[in-house]
Chains A and B, each alone.
Chain A
Amino acid sequence: MSRNKIFVVAKNEFTKRVKTHWFVITTLLGPIVLVTFFTVVGFITASSLETTEKSITVRDETGRLATELVDTSGKITFETTQASDDDLKTSVLNKEVSGYLVLPEGLIEGTASASYYSTEGGGISNFSGELRSIVRDAVRLTRLEDQDVSRDVFDAITANVSLDSIQLSDEGEEQGSTAAYAIVGGIMGFLIYITMLIYGSVVMQGVIEEKVSRVVEVIVSSVKPFQLLMGKVLGIGAMGLVQMSFWAILIAAGTTFSGAIIAMIAPADAVTAIDGAIAGAPSQAEILESIGFTVPDLGPEVFIFFVLYFLLGYLLYATLFAGIGSSVEQQQDAQSLMIPVMMPIIVSIIFLQAVIEAPNSTLSVVLSIFPFTAPIPMVVRIAMIDVPWWQVGLSVSLLFGTFLGAVWVSSRIYRIGILSYGKKPSLKELIRWMRYA
């Protein structure tokens, strides 16, 4: 009978929310927002790596280097000048030139350093790195010439050296591009982070609303606070699953047809390659590979664990959020109590990059096993590498155990909190509530 009441509450929470405009809008717009977000991030990253065309004025005091300054990408052009520093400074400040480069005497011998003046300061941007390597190449070439070494030797030395990284798994097979796995892992980790927080705060809002509208006293005269808490968390979790399943279907449909879509907008030579391949009924992967993108071959277990970790992470945090929500009357009052609960999630997001870079490091292993941080790093690792079974098993059991512990703690705070009005309690008072019979 007690399970039955949890179901009644969960069903009400679910149907009530699925019917709202909020649900319909976020379900339909979620993928668009997400794709836009990742596109914008990708675009910004890409454009920050790209140097826009720049014209730089050079005063070459060595008299030998200016002719050797060559940017292979053709983005940076150099103009020589003999103007004084003062004149050059004025023209930079007047935005007549983007910056000027001074190559002093002694640069070739290594006794002086080149200087670049601009209004942007240089900093650690990609541009200053590029400029440095252009100047360095010019200086090195001149130094070699002084030693009577031919230009061919220089070209031979600086010829491109590339390194492909190939990952070996237990099955001994080599997999595709590790970068693609890292991207998928990162996106999954990020999705868990976003959804856990959004659905968790929906639960908290629901708890606060029930308390402030004073419906809660009638409800707890019919069900135990524990049942109300669990019903709420499960009902909103079910709503989240429905929403995410819908998105998953959209994404699956998107990737099925993405080849054709990319083919339409891809460069002409790539399309020819696809045309040729279509004759032999090409697979999705083949189409994408023909334009230079490796589709990571993810097993179903990656998605199973994604859903499992999302659920466990959501259950843990939503339960804790509900406990906090029950003790306050306004969202803002919850803020200070949220900080200790949010810390582990924030830590796991801060270390997301580190986990992607070294999924087998001690840090990654510890973060993916410690229950409060586990969901995000573990999903990233599972997407990228073969995580040992004992680690997954330990992580899942610890997470589930912690969830049960959180239910115990939260439901004890909750049953006092939902009926307490007035001053917002301190952390100390919450601990005292847990001890009441």
Chain B
Amino acid sequence: MPILRVEGVTKRYGKFVAVNNVSFEAQPGRILGLLGPNGAGKTTTIRMVTYITVPDEGRVMFGDSEVSPVSQENMGYLPEERGLYKKMKVGEQLMYFAELKGMNRTEAREKIRYWLDRFGALEWVNKKTNELSKGMQQKIQFIATILHNPKLLILDEPFGGLDPINAELLQNVIMELKDEGRTILFASHRMEQVEQLCDDICLVSRGEIVVKGALTDIKRQFGKNTVMMDFEGSDVFLDELESKGAVRLGSRSTRHAELNLLGTTTPKHILEVALPHVSNITRFELVEPPMREIFVTAVTKQQGEQAAATV
């Protein structure tokens, strides 16, 4: 049973429609990736889920009832633009956040110790925030988000500003929380992370949902239409293919390319064009498109359609 159901939600600011008739669900024990270009309506959607704002139309259900101050106590929200009180000590600050979520002090104290220890940050408990590095502050903010055992976690760019070691630590904790059966809403522009972490995807553009479903299903729908290629030698064949409209290039470097096959282009055709130029081919694989490719395709398609509609 989904714990979070967003049902036909619309939010306007004056004449601007920030979110238009959006519906999706988030299941316990799964991570839902909320994706979309800047200004697509992700933050507005999240703010309605967290009951910071209310929708003009539709409703947001948490469990059996609509979102309310009660549901807020069962959610943890890590916003993209986040901060801490600069002059408060880490321990006091976490205690304040816990109390705001309705926790009692004894329980909160225990949880604060546990999580600070888990993130190797126990010795910071009496330090003021402005004495901490950015990465340290990130960890404290994450702890503040999960202290009160929320059923639903909303993480907006949680890895920003973290070094690879701490990013891995955070990822492990997130996977752990997921395995415990929490529901996680994950918003990010980093498509590799989305691919690694998410079970489900909800892609919004201009306030509307353009792609929605399980990540594996979505990939299957798009089919194996992408060639991953590692090579040595000249890469002029890539430009040749692109200028003929046979492929669209995803990522590209001097020895690697991601080619999205267009129209009737076959892998064989690409090989034929490439062979006269390259000195060697070390990898040639037909795969499902990476998440970034799906993102770009879906967004350009929808925004193109809208642009066409206005003409």
Q: Does A177 contact B (CB under 8 A)?
A: no
| Contact present for B51 and A16 (CB under 8 Å) | no
Further pairs besides A1-B102, A20-B87, A221-B77: 10, Cβ < 8 Å:
A12-B99, A210-B85, A213-B86, A218-B79, A218-B144, A219-B100, A221-B50, A221-B51, A221-B52, A222-B73
A379 at the interface (CB under 8 A from B): no
| Interchain Cβ contacts under 8 Å between A and B, 6 examples | A4-B102, A8-B96, A8-B99, A214-B82, A215-B82, A217-B79
- Measured CA separation A214–B156 after assembly (Å): 14
A213 to B129, CA, bound (A): 11
Q: Is A89 an interface residue (CB 8 A)?
A: no
Task: Verify A215–B75 contact, CB threshold 8 A.
Answer: no
Q: Is A136 an interface residue (CB 8 A)?
A: no
In the assembled complex, the CB of B142 is this many whole angstroms from the nearest CB of chain A, namely 11
Chain B residues engaging chain A, CB cutoff 8 angstroms: 13-14, 47, 50-52, 54, 56, 69, 72-73, 75, 77-79, 81-88, 92, 96-97, 99-102, 141, 144-145
Asked if A214 contacts B81 (CB within 8 A), the reply is yes
Q: Does A390 sit at the interface, judged by CB under 8 A?
A: no
Q: Is A149 an interface residue (CB 8 A)?
A: no
Q: Are B52 and A419 in contact (CB under 8 A)?
A: yes
Most chain B beta carbons < 10 A, residue from A9, A222, A437: A222
Please, how many angstroms separate the alpha-carbon atoms of A222 and B68 in the complex?
A: 10
Interface set, chain A 1-30, CB cutoff 8 A to B: 1-2, 4-5, 8-9, 12, 16, 20
| A57-86 near B? 1/0 per residue, CB < 8 Å | 000000000000000000000000000000
Task: Say yes or no for A432: interface residue by CB 8 A criterion.
Answer: yes
Closest to B79 in A: A217
Contact B83 A437 (CB under 8 A): no
Nearest to A214 among chain B residues (CB) is B83
B88 touches A16 (CB 8 A): yes
Q: Which 6 pairs of residues, A with B, have the shortest CB-CB distance?
A: A214-B83, A213-B83, A222-B100, A221-B77, A221-B50, A217-B79
A436 at the A/B interface (Cβ < 8 Å)? yes
Contact B100 A215 (CB under 8 A): no
Complexed CA–CA distance, A220 and B101 (Å): 11
Q: Across the interface, which residues of A come within 8 angstroms of B82, CB to CB?
A: 214-215, 217-218
Q: A221-248 toward B: CB 8 Å interface, digit per residue (1/0)?
A: 1111000000000000000000000000
Q: Shortest beta-carbon distance, B57 to chain A, in Å?
A: 11
- Give chain B nearest CB distance to A250 CB in angstroms: 28
Give the residues in chain A near B85, CB-CB below 8 Å: 16, 210, 213, 215
Chain A residues positioned under 8 Å from B87 (CB to CB) = 16, 20
Rounded to whole Å, the gap between the CB of B165 and the closest CB of chain A is: 25
Contact of B54 among A16, A213, A437 (CB under 8 A): A437
Partner of A432, one of B14, B84, B97, B144: B14
A437 CB contact (under 8 Å) in B56, B77, B78: B56
The closest CB in chain A to the CB of B82 belongs to A214
Kindly name the residue among A2, A210, A220, A436 whose own CB sees the greatest number of chain B CB atoms within 10 A.
Answer: A220
Which B residues touch A215, using CB under 8 A? 82-85
**Contact A217 B81, CB 8 Å, known A8-B99, A16-B88, A223-B100:** yes
Chain A proximity of B278: nearest CB distance (Å): 50
**A1 cross-chain contacts in B, Cβ below 8 A:** 69, 102
Give CA–CA (A280, B177) in the complex, Å.
81
Which residue, of B75, B99, B144, has the highest number of chain A Cβ atoms within 10 A?
B99
**Nearest-CB distance from A5 to chain B (Å)?**
7
Q: Which of A8, A209, A215, A221 has the most CB of B within 10 A?
A: A221
CA A221 – CA B97 in complex, angstroms?
Answer: 10
For A437, what are the chain B residues with a Cβ–Cβ distance below 8 Å? 54, 56
* A222 touching B54, Cβ below 8 Å: no
Do A221 and B83 contact each other (CB < 8 Å), given the known contacts A16-B88, A437-B54, A437-B56? no
Separation of A144 and B273 alpha carbons in the complex (Å)? 130
Bound Cα distance A223, B97 (Å) = 10
**Are A436 and B13 closer than 8 Å at their CB atoms?**
yes
* Docked-complex contact A222 and B97, CB < 8 angstroms: yes
- Chain B residue contacts of A222, Cβ below 8 A: 72-73, 97, 100-101
- Measured in the bound complex, the distance between the Cα atoms of B47 and A220 in whole Å is 10
Within 8 A of B (CB), among A189-224: 209-210, 213-215, 217-224
